[in-house]
Amino acid sequence: MSIPIIDENAVEELDLPGRKLRWVVTNENTGSQYCTMAIIRVAPGQRVRPAHSHPNGEEVIYILSGHGRVLVDGEVEPVRSGCAVLFPKGKVHMLQNLSDVEMKVACFFAPPASLENYQFFEDIDLPEN
């Protein structure tokens, strides 16, 4: 058995509203049974749209570069490189890049997630600055 090492650049990048996303760790490419992991890239000024939740599990994000703000269950807080944020099960959330550089974020999901099990909320948005 070989160690499952995945180069994010070898994974297909999806062009989604407000971000580019790569599913880096999945059952299909690593055999992972209990979690998934994605990398997103958010351009300056952009926000991950639409607001969404994960009805079946939790998400933890870790900001690798850039700074901005998150909306979690109606509360808005600033985030920057080095911050980790828990999005609890079922809580509606969004992320916005307020920096002048690309925001890069590692997103960890347990149990495993995919776009098919997101719940979207088109009517929820971050308030104006």
pLDDT tens for residues 12-59? 999 999 999 999 999 999 999 999 999 999 999 999 999 999 999 999
How many Cβ atoms from other residues are within 10 Å of residue 44's Cβ?
13
One-letter amino acid of 60: V
- The predicted model scores a pTM of 0.94
Instruction: Give the N- to C-terminal CA distance of the chain in Å, as an integer.
Output: 51
Q: Does residue 28 belong to any structural domain of this protein?
A: no
H-helix or E-strand spanning residue 84: strand 84-87
Domains identified in the chain, total number: 1
- CATH code where residue 49 lies: 2.60.120.10
Q: Does residue 51 belong to any structural domain of this protein?
A: yes
Q: Does residue 17 belong to any structural domain of this protein?
A: no
Q: Does residue 100 belong to any structural domain of this protein?
A: yes
- In terms of residue numbers, what domain contains 75? 36-119
pLDDT tens for residues 87-128? 999 999 999 999 999 999 999 999 999 999 899 999 999 998
Q: Does residue 114 belong to any structural domain of this protein?
A: yes
Q: Does residue 3 belong to any structural domain of this protein?
A: no
